[in-house]
Amino acid sequence: MSEYTSRRKYLAWTEVIVYPCNHSVSLRTERLLIENVYGFSVKGRVFAYDVKGNCGTLEDGVWHAAGCDTYVLIMDTTGNGKFDFLRLGVENPREVPAWVRK
């Protein structure tokens, strides 16, 4: 595990919200005010980043803290360099993808 310096102040992702009772879905952008970024690698192959930060909302360029800290884990599951898996509230990857072990 190595600590990285983020070039961005915020991490943004799209959250999918499902409303099963009325059979609808909505999308909303969530953000995290980045405190720390940690990378996980094996033999120089980075397969995951763990981003720790403050929860909140960004409105008109002003950050409104929600009073919580959380982790966002981002993983490259296929080895193509695209981090295609996002998990909220998880500090460390639970497994190393198969492409890393090759």
Q: Which two tokens stand for residue 76?
A: 């490259």
> Which pair of tokens denotes residue 71?
């982790």
pLDDT tens digits along 18-28: 999 999 999 98
Which domain range does residue 47 map to? 2-101
Other CB atoms within a 10 A radius of the CB of residue 5 amount to: 7
Number of domains observed in the structure of the chain: 1
Cross-strand pairs, 30: 13
Give the chain's largest Cα–Cα span. Answer: 49
pLDDT in tens, 23-71: 999 998 888 999 999 999 998 889 999 999 998 888 888 888 888 888 9
What pTM, to 2 d.p., does this model score? 0.79
